[in-house]
């Protein structure tokens, strides 16, 4: 149990004294950047999924008719 208490104390010390936190403006800029790239990535994945879904559907329709 003492190991857990020591871990928490050392973690708190590390976070308060040795971590360089971004400024509020920098955090906002980085958040917007992550959000934009997440949306772009989601749209790319959606497009790829739509293309493959259509291709597979057309392939099985072609097999069914032949």
pLDDT per residue as tens digits for the range 3-60: 999 999 999 999 999 999 999 999 999 999 999 999 999 999 999 999 999 999 999 9
What single DSSP character describes residue 1?
A: -
| The token pair that represents 44 in the structure block | 């790319």
Can you give the pLDDT at residue 2?
Answer: 81
Q: What whole-number distance in Å separates Cα of residue 1 and Cα of residue 53?
A: 54
pTM value is 0.67
Beta carbons of 30 and 22 less than 8 angstroms apart = yes
Residue 65 has pLDDT above 90, yes or no: no
| pLDDT score, position 40 | 98
- Both tokens of 32, joined, read 């917007």
24, two tokens: 């509020």
pLDDT confidence of residue 22: 94
């Amino acid at each position: 149990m003492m190991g857990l208490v020591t871990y928490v104390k050392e973690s708190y010390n590390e976070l308060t004294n040795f971590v360089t936190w971004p400024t509020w403006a920098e955090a906002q800029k980085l958040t917007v950047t992550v959000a934009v790239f997440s949306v772009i990535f989601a749209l790319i994945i959606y497009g790829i999924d739509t293309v493959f879904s259509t291709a597979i559907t057309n392939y099985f329709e072609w097999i069914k008719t032949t």
